[in-house]
Structure 1
C-alpha cells in the first residue's frame, strides 16, 4: 500500500478501530495503514472473537470482512448492533460483493458503509472520513442530550420547589376567608371559594356594618396565578370585617355610629386606589351588596361582575344590574347603585363568571339559564348545601372537577 496518511481530523483521543478478517495478511495491511493514520487498532481473526472483544470494549469503528468461517460479517454486524453500548459504533463491511440485493442485506443488518476488496487507500480514507463525521455528530448529540437532561433535572427541582411553595400559598390564600358561614340572626351568609389552580384570583366574603346591616361581596381579579392571588390578598384586607379601620366600605356616621359608604362610592374609592395607590396592570370585577337585615332592603353595585341573582322563595329567579365598568380599568369610571328588596326566604347570590362561563365538553357555556336550572333544582336545600350541590352540578356540566376558572360566590338568605 502506498505511503499515505489516513488522518481525517485530530482528536484528543485516537479513534479505536477493530479490524476483523480471517486473513492475517489483510489484517496487517489494514492495521498498518490505520496506525500510520493515527488510529488505535485492535485485530480479530473471526466474527466470534471480534464479538467477544466488542463485549468488553466500545470500538469507535469496525472494519469487518464479509466472508468468514463460523460467523460471517452479516451475522457479526447483526450481533454487534444488539450489544448494549453508550456511543455509536460505525460499521464498514469489507467485501468483493457488489450486487444490489447483497448490499441491501448488509444495510439491513446494520452496516453503515462498504469497502470493496482489495481496499483502495483513497477510498478507505474517504470512508473513514465519513465515519468520523457521523461519530462526531453523534458525540455532539450525546453531549447536548446530557446537557438537556441535566437542565431538565434542574428545572424539575425548581418546579418541585415552586409546587411546594404554591401549595403553601394556596393554604394561606384559603385563610383570607376565615368564615365560610355566619348566622346574623335575621339572615345568614354562605361563601363558596374554589380556585382552579394552586392559587386563584377570586375572593368572596362578608362583614358586619352594624347591628342591622351587613356587607356581602364577590370579587374576580383579572388573570390567574400568583399575581392575581396577591391582589386578592390586598383586597381581602380592604374588605375585611376583622380590621374595620382598613375596610374601604366602613365609616363613622355623623354621631359616631357605625355606618358604610354607599356601594357606588365603595366601587369608586376602590377604583381610585387602583390608580393612585396600588398601581398595577391588573383590574377586577366586583359585586358588592349592603343588606339591611331588618327591612330586607339591598343596595348594590355591579362593576363588571356577572349579574347578581335574586332567588325568590317561590322559586322565581331574577338577574339584576346593568353590568358596570370593572375596577381599575378606567380612572374616570362611574358606578351606579342597584336596589332590590328581599322578602323572607329570598336569597341573593353574588357569583363569579367561573360559574356562568363554565364550558361543557362541547364548549357550551352554562350561562344564566343553566345556573337558574341548577338553583331551582336545589331550591329546597340550605344555603351551604345548595352551594355544594352547585359545584357537583357544575362538575357534571363540565365533565370533571378541574374547572378552567375559579368558582366562587356569596349566598345570602333572609330568614322568615
Structure 2
C-alpha cells in the first residue's frame, strides 16, 4: 500500500462524490477519509452541479449511469462551466471497461477511471494520481501568479522609462531654435533622432552685441548617454555665450577639457560660430565636424576650413575661429554625418556630393521650404527601414528684404 505518512503531511483533497447508490457513497466516503480526503455527496447530477456552484472542489468522482443526467453529461457540463480557468480532476466509476466506453468518457473530459467493484489499491493509485495533478496545478497557478506580478512590475517600469524618455525628448526639442526670423536672420532646421532621443543638438542663441551664436554638435553613439552629453554641450554653450572670436575659442577649449576630463570614451564633433546679421561677418570653428555648405545664388560649395580635433580627444587642443562672410541671400548649411550617411535601399550613402546635389536642386525655394525638401528627400531615401544615425541640419540666411528695410 502507499505510505500514509506522506499522505497526511499534505492538505486534504476536497472531493465531490456523485452516485445514486447511498451505500456506495457511504463506503467511498469512508475509504477517502482514510486517504486524507474530505468528501461531500450528491445523489444525482443536478445536486452535484448545485454543490459545485457553492463550493470549491479539487476532485469529482461520479458514476456513469444515474437517473436523469448521466455521468458523461455531467462531466460535459462541468467542463463547460469551469473551462480552463479552474482545475478539477474528474474520475468516473463504472462497471464497463470496453474501449469505446473509455474513449467516450475521455472525450467528455474524464481524467481517470475506477472500475466497480472497487479495489483498494486501484483507489489509492487513482487518488495518488489526482493528488499529483492537483499539486502540479497549484504550483503552476502560483508560478503564473508570480509571473503575472513580475510582468506587471516590468510593464510599470517600462511605462516609467518611456515617460522619462518622452520627457527627455520633449526637453531636447525645446532646445531647438525658434524657426521664426531673428531680425534679418532667417533659420530653418530638421531634426530626427535615430532612436527615441538624439545625440545631436542644434542651437541658435542671440547675444547682447547683436551677434548670434550658432552650433550643431554630434555626440558619439545614440540613446540616453549620447543625449545627456549633447544636452550638456548645449547647456554649456548657452551658459558661456561667447560673443567675440576670442571668447568663442576659449569657450570651445573649456568645453573640450570638460569632456576630456570625464574619463570616458565619449566625444563629440562640433561646428560652432558667431554671425553678425547686420554685416554678414562671422567666425566659425570646425571641431572634427563635416564642413558646412555655403549656398550662393549660382553655386553650392563646402566651406574651406582648418579643422580641429573633436571635443574630448586631447585636453590642450587648439580651436581657432576662421572668419567668413555671409552676404544677404546666401545660406549657411550645417549638418550632422547622419545626413551624409543616410542610406538608400541598396545601402548606398548619400555622402557630401549627394547632399550638395539636393541643396542645389532646392536652392530656389525659401529657406524653410528648402529644408523641407531636403528632409523629404532623406525620408524617401531611407524608407520604412528607419534611421541608422541621428539626422540634423541647420540652415541660416540673412534676408535681403529685411536688410533693405533696415537700411
User: What TM-score comes out, normalization by structure 2 length?
Assistant: 0.79
SS at match of 1:55: helix
* Cα 1:7/1:89, change in 2 over 3 Å: farther
Within 5 A, what are the aligned runs for 1:221-236? 221-236=219-234
* Cα 1:194/1:134, change in 2 over 3 Å: same
Paired residues, what number? 398
Q: Is the CA contact (8 Å cut-off) linking 2:291 and 2:302 kept in structure 1?
A: no
Q: Distance in 2 between matches of 1:130 and 1:33?
A: 16
Alignment counterpart, residue 297 of structure 2, candidates 313, 325, 349 = 313
Greater shift in the superposed pair: 105-114 or 170-179:
170-179
SS at match of 1:381: coil
Q: Distance in 2 between matches of 1:363 and 1:57?
A: 66
Indicate the residue corresponding to 2:172 in structure 1: 173
Q: Distance in 2 between matches of 1:306 and 1:103?
A: 80
Indicate the residue corresponding to 2:331 in structure 1: 347
Cα distance, 1:89 vs structure 2 = 0.5
Indicate the residue corresponding to 1:132 in structure 2: 131
Q: Distance in 2 between matches of 1:130 and 1:330?
A: 74
Q: Is the CA contact (8 Å cut-off) linking 1:7 and 1:37 kept in structure 2?
A: no
Q: Distance in 1 between matches of 2:352 and 2:103?
A: 69
Q: Distance in 1 between matches of 2:373 and 2:168?
A: 27
Q: Is the CA contact (8 Å cut-off) linking 1:210 and 1:259 kept in structure 2?
A: no
Q: Is the CA contact (8 Å cut-off) linking 1:310 and 1:348 kept in structure 2?
A: yes
Alignment counterpart, residue 58 of structure 1, candidates 56, 63, 72 = 56
Q: For the aligned residues, what is the CA RMSD?
A: 3.9
Higher share of residues assigned helix? 2
Indicate the residue corresponding to 1:328 in structure 2: 312
Q: Is the CA contact (8 Å cut-off) linking 1:349 and 1:412 kept in structure 2?
A: yes
Deviation per residue, 1:139-181 (Å, 9 max, x gap) = 1222222233233334444444444444444443333345445
Q: Distance in 1 between matches of 2:188 and 2:196?
A: 22
SS at match of 1:348: strand
Indicate the residue corresponding to 1:255 in structure 2: none
Q: Is the CA contact (8 Å cut-off) linking 1:61 and 1:90 kept in structure 2?
A: yes
Indicate the residue corresponding to 1:68 in structure 2: 66
2:32 corresponds to 1:34: yes
Q: Is the CA contact (8 Å cut-off) linking 1:302 and 1:322 kept in structure 2?
A: no
Q: Distance in 1 between matches of 2:19 and 2:31?
A: 15
Q: Distance in 1 between matches of 2:30 and 2:93?
A: 16
Cα distance, 1:93 vs structure 2 = 2.0
* Cα 1:320/1:148, change in 2 over 3 Å: farther
Within 5 A, what are the aligned runs for 1:14-413? 14-84=12-82, 86-177=85-176, 179-183=178-182, 185=184, 187-195=185-193, 199-207=197-205, 214-240=212-238, 243=239, 246-247=240-241, 250=242, 258-260=244-246, 269-276=254-261, 278-289=262-273, 294=279, 299-303=284-288, 305-306=289-290, 308-314=292-298, 316=300, 318=302, 326-329=310-313, 345-358=329-342, 367-368=351-352, 371-372=355-356, 374-399=358-383, 405-413=389-397
Q: Distance in 2 between matches of 1:95 and 1:308?
A: 90
Q: Distance in 1 between matches of 2:22 and 2:206?
A: 101
Cα distance, 1:260 vs structure 2 = 3.3
User: What TM-score comes out, normalization by structure 1 length?
Assistant: 0.77
Greater shift in the superposed pair: 163-172 or 44-53:
163-172
Cα distance, 1:239 vs structure 2 = 1.7
Q: Distance in 2 between matches of 1:259 and 1:268?
A: 12
SS at match of 2:286: strand
Q: List alignment gaps of at least 5 residues for structure 2.
A: 401-407
Q: Distance in 1 between matches of 2:80 and 2:309?
A: 69
* Cα 1:94/1:234, change in 2 over 3 Å: same
Greater shift in the superposed pair: 362-371 or 16-25:
362-371
Q: List alignment gaps of at least 5 residues for structure 1.
A: 252-257
